[in-house]
């Protein structure tokens, strides 16, 4: 009898586990990605998140058109604003400097600003990478150095031709969420960019800087009934899966997305 009872208990545990797994598969996190790299890239943005939650569903917002993307965002649990082209400098009062920029995509600028605004209003978790940091900063009233080598006196190499191997140190600001997540006084990051934050946007604080004091990460200065927002100038998707400046950031973003989904489900 004891053996039979034990078998029943084991069977119940197995069935319960299978049921839970099936439920999780049927209700995965949905992450909106403003523009994803082609699938031929191993180090793409969705791949970065899937390292830590293989079951997520990601949606590439770029091909949808702005109105459709905004509607789709209603069904998402988080917004990832990704790297890419220069942001049009006219958005931060420097239209005359357009010739000093590289490729510009005005449609993408408009799409991402619309998505960022909605994400912030809805208190949805928002995470920015490289260009993503820059356009979040611009959207909140900040400005950029149009070209770091000519506008900002520095000996730190922020961009080079071999972008896959452009690393430099950053130092997090004590007391910030980034500092608590990384648990380190500093580290090397894969950061390759010729533009950077000049004036930070409203209600933001700089949470990490490179050795030349250039901002390399931002977050809310005071959460103050806002949703999660963090952005980094570096590329965590290009870094080691266990790196303190990559893994904890993805995990925090995904955990915030999970909390957002749970709260949304209760409303």
Question: What are the pLDDT digits (tens) for 46-88?
Answer: 999 999 999 999 999 999 999 999 999 999 999 999 999 999 9
Q: Does residue 193 have an active-site annotation?
A: no
**Which pLDDT belongs to residue 43?**
73
Which of 36, 112, 198, 237 is the catalytic position?
Answer: 237
Which of 76, 235, 252, 256 is the catalytic position?
Answer: 235
* Cα(29)–Cα(35) distance, integer angstroms: 18
First-to-final CA distance of the chain:
48
Question: What are the pLDDT digits (tens) for 162-204?
Answer: 656 678 899 999 999 999 999 999 999 998 878 999 999 999 9
pLDDT at 236 over 80: yes
Q: Does residue 21 have an active-site annotation?
A: no
Nearest to 33 by CA among 266, 262, 237, 259: 237
* Cα(53)–Cα(114) distance, integer angstroms: 27
Cα atoms found within 13 Å of the Cα of residue 256, Cβ hemisphere only:
22
Q: Does residue 255 have an active-site annotation?
A: no
Tokens of 232: 């980094």
**Which pLDDT belongs to residue 147?**
87
pTM: 0.87
Question: What is the fold, at CATH topology level, of the domain defined by 46-266?
Answer: Rossmann fold (3.40.50)
Which of 130, 168, 216, 252 is the catalytic position?
Answer: 130
Q: What are phi and psi of 250, to 5 degrees?
A: -65, -45
Q: What are phi and psi of 134, to 5 degrees?
A: -65, -45
**Which pLDDT belongs to residue 267?**
59
Question: What are the pLDDT digits (tens) for 109-139?
Answer: 999 999 999 999 999 999 999 999 999 999 9
**Which pLDDT belongs to residue 16?**
46
């Amino acid at each position: 009898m004891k053996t039979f009872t034990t078998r029943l208990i084991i069977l119940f545990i197995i069935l319960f586990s299978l049921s839970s797994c099936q439920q999780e598969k049927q209700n995965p996190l949905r992450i909106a990605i403003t523009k994803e790299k082609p699938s031929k890239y191993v180090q793409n943005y969705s791949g970065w998140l899937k390292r830590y939650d293989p079951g997520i569903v990601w949606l590439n917002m770029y091909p949808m058109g702005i109105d459709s993307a905004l509607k789709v965002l209603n069904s998402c649990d988080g917004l990832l604003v990704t790297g890419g082209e220069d942001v049009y400098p006219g958005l931060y009062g420097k239209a005359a400097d357009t010739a000093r920029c590289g490729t510009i995509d005005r449609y993408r600028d408009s799409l991402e600003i619309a998505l960022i605004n909605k994400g912030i209003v809805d208190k949805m978790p928002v995470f920015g990478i490289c260009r993503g940091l820059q356009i979040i900063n611009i959207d909140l009233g900040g400005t950029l150095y149009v070209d770091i080598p000519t506008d900002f006196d520095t000996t730190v190499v922020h961009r080079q031709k071999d972008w896959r191997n452009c690393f430099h140190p950053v130092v997090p600001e004590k007391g910030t969420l980034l500092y608590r997540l990384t648990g380190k006084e500093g580290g090397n990051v894969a950061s390759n960019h010729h533009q950077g934050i000049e004036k930070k946007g409203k209600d933001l604080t700089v949470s990490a800087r490179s050795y030349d004091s250039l901002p390399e990460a931002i977050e809310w200065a005071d959460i103050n009934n806002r949703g999660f927002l963090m952005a980094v100038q570096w590329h965590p998707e290009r870094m080691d899966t266990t790196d303190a400046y990559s893994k904890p950031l993805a995990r925090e973003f995904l955990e915030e997305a999970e909390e957002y989904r749970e709260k949304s489900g209760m409303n």
